[in-house]
Amino acid sequence: MAISADQKMDLLVSLCKRRGFVFPDSEIYGGFANAWDFGPYGVELKNNIRDAWWKRFVYGREDLVGVDTPIIQHPKVWEASGHLQNFSDPLVECKRCHHRFRADHLLEARQAEPGYDKEVPVDIKDIKCPDCGGQLTDVMNFNLMLKTFIGVKEDTAAVAYLRPETAAGMFTTWKNIRDSMRQKLPFGIAQVGKAFRNEITPGNFIFRLREFEQMEIEYYVHPDDAPRAYDMWLDEYKAWVRDVLKISDDHVQYREIPDEERAFYSRRSIDPEYQFPFGMKELGGLANRGDHDLSNHQRVSGEDLRWFDQEKGERFIPYVIEPTWGLTRSVLAVLSEHLDIDEADSVEGDKEPRMVLRFPPNLAPVKAAFLPLQKKEELTAIARKLSRELKSRGINVEYDESASIGKRYRRQDEIGTPWCFTVDFESLEDGKVTVRDRDAMTQERIAIDEVPDWIQEKLK
């Protein structure tokens, strides 16, 4: 059933709270704006995306190694990377209501208005406050780095920063990996972790946060090999979105960033964008960063960060191809992509709307539910035993004996569980259980002892 974009966001936010995916943070204190807790199903979904990514890229390829570097690094790192000087967003403030906006977002919104002539450049001075119509200030550059102090003194010598992206750690550890891991160029370093930005306008649920997670790869190549490696990572990115997140091609676009929008060091940038309910927005990025990062770290640290090609007797600073995935944004994209409403039989025998999350099974927070038809010992014992067996194999499943079977199905549909197994009185005679498929809603009887292997096989 088609769900309108406006409806979708409201449905998602309320479903996420009602069913334990994402809760407003610190709610007992009235909530903390733009901070969210991942609940039991949210954390499973996020971890499943992260684990699928790690398995595919770090275990699945011979040219990548994983690392985990600190959130708070040496402050020199941010001097060398340029973040201290340049990592800012253009901010305007309304002189009347004092609401703040990203100037670039206001300009984009103006250009997207129907009938707007894209050839005519927009001047921010011609734009009024979207909230109250007041006059806006001139553009100020606002640094997004979150500052903290290390040690007992809160003076300038003690200033440190929370990383605004995970990438930096993979540049600073480059020398150690180069010297210890016996890799040959091209090879990459992968990392997953938290990043922090003092965003001017956080919002859209978990889309733009001050604290979020990224999955990033810094792939080091000979400069001549950079265009080939870039194309290879673009193909990898597309395959990940299509085959793992199961996002329809109609809902993504790979936007080539024009020269005037690109960071000065970037030789090529493409932003994968997803059709979120609030518009086509950035999901991640793919950049050819040239030798910008290693050259700057070499200059500031004084260490030799070049690669030595023994066969050719050549020393050079490798180029970096950087694919970045927003993990928190991927969770939102996967929720949005797979939310659906169809019809199911109600208890009264007629049809009623059914909300369902059609997650790909390997991303689903719960893989299967075991449901005794009634709370009778002979039935509950079978369901509990199956549940324990699956958990012992490291597969997250649920046992549920509460409420009517219809209500239990509905609950599992809403958390996206692919298969529900019902144990009924016939099971005691034929040694079989009924498995109901979340999407087709078909039912099939299979032998109780075959259930664990059946599920494991389906998840392969």
The Cα 286–Cα 263 span in angstroms is: 12
Residue 289 as a binder of ligand ATP (CB under 6 A): the answer is no
* Minimum CB distance to ligand ATP smaller for 327 or for 397: 327
Residue 143 Cβ vs ligand ATP, minimum distance, rounded to whole Å: 13
* Minimum CB distance to ligand ATP smaller for 274 or for 419: 274
Residue span binding ligand ATP (CB under 6 A) among the ranges 246-254, 277-285, 293-301, 415-423: 277-285
The Cα 421–Cα 435 span in angstroms is: 4
Residue 324 Cβ vs ligand ATP, minimum distance, rounded to whole Å: 4
Residue 197 as a binder of ligand ATP (CB under 6 A): the answer is yes
* Minimum CB distance to ligand ATP smaller for 8 or for 83: 83
Residue 281 Cβ vs ligand ATP, minimum distance, rounded to whole Å: 7
Contact 333, 284 (CB under 8 A): no
Q: Segment 147-186, which members bind ligand ATP (CB under 6 A)?
A: 165
Choice from 208, 297, 338, 432 touching ligand ATP (CB under 6 A): 208
* Minimum CB distance to ligand ATP smaller for 73 or for 266: 266
Residue 422 Cβ vs ligand ATP, minimum distance, rounded to whole Å: 40
Q: Segment 379-438, which members bind ligand ATP (CB under 6 A)?
A: none
Residue 184 Cβ vs ligand ATP, minimum distance, rounded to whole Å: 28
Residue 218 as a binder of ligand ATP (CB under 6 A): the answer is no
Residue 282 as a binder of ligand ATP (CB under 6 A): the answer is yes
* Minimum CB distance to ligand ATP smaller for 36 or for 421: 36
* Minimum CB distance to ligand ATP smaller for 42 or for 418: 42
Residue span binding ligand ATP (CB under 6 A) among the ranges 107-115, 230-238, 325-333, 415-423: 325-333
Residue 212 as a binder of ligand ATP (CB under 6 A): the answer is yes
> Residue 65 forms beta bridges with which residues?
189
Residue 268 as a binder of ligand ATP (CB under 6 A): the answer is no
By DSSP bridging, strand 419-423 and strand 368-372 are: parallel
Residue span binding ligand ATP (CB under 6 A) among the ranges 43-51, 240-248, 326-334, 335-343: 326-334
Residue span binding ligand ATP (CB under 6 A) among the ranges 3-11, 283-291, 295-303, 443-451: 283-291
Residue 285 as a binder of ligand ATP (CB under 6 A): the answer is yes
Residue 34 as a binder of ligand ATP (CB under 6 A): the answer is no
Choice from 324, 412, 422, 427 touching ligand ATP (CB under 6 A): 324
The Cα 386–Cα 126 span in angstroms is: 66
Residue 284 as a binder of ligand ATP (CB under 6 A): the answer is yes
Choice from 277, 290, 323, 326 touching ligand ATP (CB under 6 A): 326
Question: What is the 3 state secondary structure string of the chain?
Answer: CCCCHHHHHHHHHHHHHHCCCEEECCHHHCCCCCCEEECHHHHHHHHHHHHHHHHHHHHCCCCEEECCCCCECCCHHHHHHCHHHHCEEEEEEECCCCCEEEHHHHHHHHHCCCCCCCCCCCCHHHCCCCCCCCCECCCEEEECCEEEECCCCCCHHHEEEECCCCHHHHHHCHHHHHHHCCCCCCEEEEEEEEEECCCCCCECCCCECCEEEEEEEEEEECHHHHHHHHHHHHHHHHHHHHHHCCCCHHHEEEEECCHHHCCCCCCEEEEEEEEECCEEEECEEEEECCCHHHHHHHHHHCCCCCEEECCCCEEECCEEEEEEEEHHHHHHHHHHHHEEEEEEECCCCCEEEEEEECCCCCCCCCCEEEEECCCCHHHHHHHHHHHHHHHHCCCCEEECCCCCHHHHHHHHHHHCCCEEEEECHHHHHHCEEEEEECCCCCEEEEEHHHHHHHHHHHHC
Choice from 214, 288, 298, 422 touching ligand ATP (CB under 6 A): 214
Return the residue nearest ligand ATP (CB atom).
Answer: 326
The residues that touch ligand ATP, with contacts defined as CB under 6 A, are 165, 197, 199, 208-209, 212, 214, 282-285, 324, 326, 328-329
